[in-house]
Amino acid sequence: METTGIETKRRHNRKKTFRAYEYLLLTLLATGSVVLSYFICVWAGVKTDNIDDSATRLYWMIGIFAGMVLSKILSEAFAKNSVFYKSVSSSFGGSIVISGLTDACIWLIVYFSGYWATMKFFFIDFGIYSILAPVVRSALLQFYSKAPRVVVVVSEKEEALLIASKMIKGGRNKDTIRVFFANDLAIDEDAVKGAIDSSDVLYVGRHLRSHLKNTFMSYAVAETYKTAYIVPNTYEIAGMKPDISQADDILMLEAQPLKLTLPQRIVKRAFDIFCSILALIVLSPLIGLTALIIHMQDGGPAIYKQERITMNGRPFMLYKFRSMIVNAEKQTGAVLMTEDDKRLTKFGKFIRKTRLDELPQLWNILKGDMSIVGPRPERPVFVNEFLKKTPAYAYRFNVRAGLTGYAQVRGNYHTDYEDKLRWDLMYIRRYSFITDIWLILLTCFAIFDKRSASGTEKKMTAEEYLDQCGHAIKKSDSSWDIEGK
């Protein structure tokens, strides 16, 4: 399984070649967008020899900006947790720089040639490029990402195997994965560093001891210049985007509390009140029709009430449209919904898939029990269970429970509660009004993601999954070597 230095160098050269092709393609695309914008104007009968007034320019700028935002929303909504999304996000920086340089050269030639074109040229050109560049760049990166990688994963055994299994589930079947366990066993640091030398990517788990995490991350990033990822702890999330301070001449990073400031809470609450009132008015016909169908289906109540926990650990009654049979938990008690749950009614399956069952929670938002965006409210029985296992779960209650959030947009119904917790804490740490708007827009597209409301999956440990996935695995007490297909 050892990768030779020649193979490592070949992978690095392939990456450089990819970047060269990427920048060349974007330059050609920027040039093509200028030419295409001219033919669009000619086809549409737009005059090309006049300078537009300020109002016309403003309308075009607003339209182009809206198109860029829509492009990014669509890319993130339909390609979450993927290389495609990452490339689309980053392309709005680098690719627009390339477009700006290319356009500057072309438009300067137009200007000095004595032919001053209408500004519509520029805006159409920029609009075409803004939409096509992320897609083209992402398609190229998708093609490149299919090449097999050598990956190193270091953590305690359960988490390390979980990371490896998630990678394979995510479509990285061709990757060769070297998994090193750092439990009570004395980990061979030289062996890990040797594996990093011949790898493309390093993944470091949350449970890895601090000094080992620092050792391997520093070696991968600072010494061998490898791509490295880390599953963050609570304190690492709190330390993101820190304020810089000092003690005499010692650099200090100030970790921020995982809660919102008073101005942030005021803005967030005002936005919740405005949006909930507006939504209740606009959606009142749909709410009434849904309630009528549920009641006519079996004669039971349309609204289902359930105790949940919100900010500061306060219990409240959450309202939902009933999607299950009456007294669904009479025999089973408090259990999470599973795939193909027999308790769901026919119409209940539909309203869960389309999220219509969540509409009554607009009243919870107006009352102040919930916010539009925030951690999903959990039932007291599950909250108590999670708090015993993970005390940091309490930080979720520094904000109001939400109708949607990072965990709902980026995760699934069956995402483990600890993974959801990290998304929730990330939201609290990175909260802004723009973040809320962004998550609301993405939630509209999450309706089309079947996994988001599919219920819990059949339980299978990471080790069981890896044993059944068909990869050749060489096992030892301290590591697993998983061959790519």
The residue ranges of every structural domain in the chain are 5-145, 150-231+463-482, 262-453
pLDDT by residue (tens digit) across 241-273?
Answer: 777 877 777 888 787 788 898 999 999 999 999
pLDDT by residue (tens digit) across 124-141?
Answer: 777 777 777 767 776 776
479-483 mean pLDDT? 88
CATH 3.30.70 fits 150-231+463-482, yes or no: no
Residue type, 311: M
Q: Tokens 């921020």: give the residue.
A: 256
Residues 6 or more apart whose CB falls under 8 angstroms from that of 396 comprise 375, 421, 424, 425, 428
- Say if pTM beats, i.e. exceeds, 0.85: no
**Pair 323, 349: CB distance under 8 Å:** yes
Rounded Cα distance between 402 and 284, Å, is 21
pLDDT by residue (tens digit) across 442-478?
Answer: 787 766 665 555 544 556 778 878 888 888 888 888 8
H or E stretch including 318? strand 315-321
pLDDT confidence of residue 401: 94
Asked if the model's pLDDT at residue 32 lies above 90, the reply is: no
